[in-house]
Amino acid sequence: MRVTQAALEKVIRDAGAIGMKFFNDRKNMAVNKKAARDFVTEADVAIEAFLKETLTREYPEYGFWGEESGQSADQASRWIVDPIDGTHSFKKGQYGWSVSIALEVDGDIVLAAVYAPVFNDLYTAEKGQGAFKNGERIAVSDETELGDAMIATGFACLRNYLADNNLERFCRIAQRTTGQRRFCSAALDLCFVAEGQVDAFWEQELNLYDVAAGALIVQEAGGTLTDFKGNPGLFPKQILATNGKIFAQILPLM
Q: State the residues that interact with ligand 2AM by CB under 6 A.
A: 38, 67, 82, 85-87, 154-156, 159-160, 184-186, 205-206, 210
3-state secondary structure of 187: helix
Greatest alpha-carbon pair distance for the chain in Å reads 50
For residue 54, give the amino acid letter: T
Distances (CA, A) of 242 to 1, 10, 226: 29, 30, 9
Contact 96, 225 (CB under 8 A): no
104 binds, among Ca ion, ligand 2AM, none (CB under 5 to 8 A by kind): none
Name the burial class of residue 231, with classes exposed (0-12), middle (13-18) and buried (19+) by CB atoms within 10 angstroms of its CB. Answer: exposed
Q: How many CA within 13 A on the CB side of residue 102?
A: 24
- In angstroms, what is the minimal distance from the CB of 89 to ligand 2AM? 8
Contact 28, 43 (CB under 8 A): no
- In angstroms, what is the minimal distance from the CB of 8 to ligand 2AM? 20
Of 52 and 245, nearer to ligand 2AM (C-beta) is: 52
Of 116 and 184, nearer to ligand 2AM (C-beta) is: 184
154 binds, among Ca ion, ligand 2AM, none (CB under 5 to 8 A by kind): ligand 2AM
184 binds, among ligand 2AM, Ca ion, none (CB under 5 to 8 A by kind): ligand 2AM
Check binding of 205 to Ca ion (CB under 5 A): no
Binder of Ca ion out of 63, 66, 67, 177 (CB under 5 A): 67
- In angstroms, what is the minimal distance from the CB of 68 to ligand 2AM? 9
Contact 102, 87 (CB under 8 A): no
The residues that touch Ca ion, with contacts defined as CB under 5 A, are 67, 82, 84-85, 87, 210
